[in-house]
Amino acid sequence: MGAPADSIQASADPPGWYHPGRAGSLQLGPKLLGAFGELHPAVIEALDARPPLAGFEVFLDAMPGPRLGRAKPPVHLSVFQPIERDFAFVIDRDLPAESLLRAARGVDRKLVSEIRLFDVYEGAELPDGKKSLAITVVLQPQERTLTDAEIEGFSKRLITQVEKATGGQLRG
C-alpha cells in the first residue's frame, strides 16, 4: 500500500476501544496506519458478545500510497550463497523489538537482505525485567563469496551496534 515496511513502528497504545495490554497499533511517524487486538471488555459487553473478541482496522487514508517517479532498482539475483546467522540479545523487557531490529538493519544495508525476529523469551534463566530477542540475519553477497573474516567482522559490527542502541547484551 506504499508504506515503507522497515519504517513502520509497532506500539502498545491502540485506540480506547481495544483492550489495554492486549492490543497494539502500527504507525508511520505520527500517522496511525492501523490497530489490532482484543476489544475492550466494555465494547464486548455493548455488543452483547462473548469474550474474547479480536479485531483490526487499517486506515487507508493514512497510507502514503505509491511514489510515482521513483522506480525501485531492479532486483539482482546473486549467484553467491546467502549466509544466515542467528543472534540473541538480552534487553530490557519494556524495550520494543522494533528498536533492536532497527539497530540491526542499519549495520550494512547493501549486504543484509533480510532481518527477522524469530523468538522472544522471558524465563527464569534471565534477570528480572529482561527478555531475550533472537533474530536471523541473512547476508547476500553480490560480488564475491565472503571470507570467514568478513563474516566475523560483520557479526562484531552488528553486535556492537545493537548493544549500543539497545543497552542489551549478546546472550551467551
Best-predicted range by mean pLDDT (62-66, 68-72, 102-106, 158-162): 158-162
Q: Is the pLDDT of residue 78 over 80?
A: no
66 confidence band (pLDDT: 50, 70, 90)? low
Segment 134-151 shows an average pLDDT of 92
Q: Which residue has the cell 464486548?
A: 44
Task: Report whether pLDDT(70) > 60.
Answer: no
What pLDDT band is residue 63 in, cutting at 50, 70 and 90? confident
Is a pLDDT exceeding 80 seen at residue 28?
yes
Percent of the chain at pLDDT exceeding 70: 92
pLDDT at 68: 59
